[in-house]
Structure 1
Amino acid sequence: MPASLTLSDTVPETARDAILASIKAHNDALLGPSDRRDLFIPIQADDGSVDGGLVGYTGRGWLYVELLSVPERLRGQGMAGRLLTLAEEEAKARGCIGAYIDTINPAACRAYERAGYSVFGKIENFSQGQDICWLIKRF
């Protein structure tokens, strides 16, 4: 007998944790245990608060840049490239062979391309006329 399905617009943390545990167990069986390690490069404002930076992780030979934000006061000064370079150097030290990132921001896409990333996937007109792009860089 098939399981009954219900739809909700909220996700209990215990349910999210159970689904994630199931995915991780499947991936570990398929690929072996993950060597995932977080990576964080903060940008701090004068008052010491974090107002930008890079959040990502390395695992299975790759760096994934989850979040990259440069505060307005530092834009146009190569800060995105500096963040990526620092993250990539650490990723290489961890044995990674490349990095990937996604963005809907055209200026960010150009910055990533200047840093040596290439678009390998795109959904055109994803939202309000903007494309979402996935970029890759092999080391």
Structure 2
Amino acid sequence: MSGNNYNGVTRQPLEDIDWGSILGYSNPVSMPMNQMTMPDFGGGQPGFFGKATDWLGKDGNLSSVAAAGGALMSGYLGMKNYGLAKDNLNFQKQAYSTNLGNSIKSYNTGLEDRINGRTADYAGKAADVQSYLDRNKMTRG
């Protein structure tokens, strides 16, 4: 297909365009890879930003600056993650400690209820129940 007409403008299909000549080199398909060069689009921008971009582009400085920035950011994020991990560990320890204390109280309350329900009323029952609880109750440590 040689092209089509749309509102008076002739358009050429993408597959028919010679991209090599547009980009500044001839027939890139037949050219060896080591001979292919990118076209020179001119120098840097004028003014301050031009000098900055010239310096960054010279001798691979941009990649060095980017690598240093990435390393600094990785270090910063690593420290933030370390702080979050410490906070999470402290929260988990506190939750475990609270859960353990509640479980011990629940066990001891159940033990006291069972022993009170299984013994008949008699003189000295309170001392016997307390003695049993002291021997069998759960404690920390």
* Shared fold (TM-score, shorter chain, > 0.5): no
TM-score by length of 1: 0.17
Structure holding more strand per residue: 1
TM-score by length of 2: 0.17
